[in-house]
């Protein structure tokens, strides 16, 4: 998981983040948004999470994942 974070997520965050100093934190926030659905669906096996379609699994967290590296500082 750390390799995916380092090799895939950080480079994207570096390209789009408005503040280079925030790249690691923003990439970590993206990772949390991506890991949450996986955890609830495949590890905790919560029935509502398991009932979501693939399209729903992408659509619900998608806007948040896209916003994390690019949004203005809160």
HSE, CB side, 13 Å, CA atoms: give it for residue 41: 14
User: What global pTM score does this model have?
Assistant: 0.82
The rounded distance, in Å, linking the Cα atoms of 69 and 45 is 29
What pLDDT digit, counting tens, does each position of 19-33 carry? 999 999 999 999 999
Is the pLDDT at 74 greater than 90, yes or no?
Answer: no
User: What distance separates the 2 farthest-apart alpha carbons in the chain?
Assistant: 39
- How much is the CA Rg of the chain, to the nearest whole Å? 13
């Amino acid at each position: 998981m750390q390799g995916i974070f380092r090799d895939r997520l950080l480079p994207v965050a570096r390209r789009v983040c408005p503040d280079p100093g925030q790249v690691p934190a923003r990439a970590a926030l993206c990772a949390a948004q991506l890991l949450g659905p996986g955890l609830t669906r495949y590890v905790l096996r919560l029935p509502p999470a398991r009932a979501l379609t693939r399209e729903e699994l992408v659509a619900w967290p998608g806007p948040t994942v896209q916003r994390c590296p690019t949004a203005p500082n809160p």
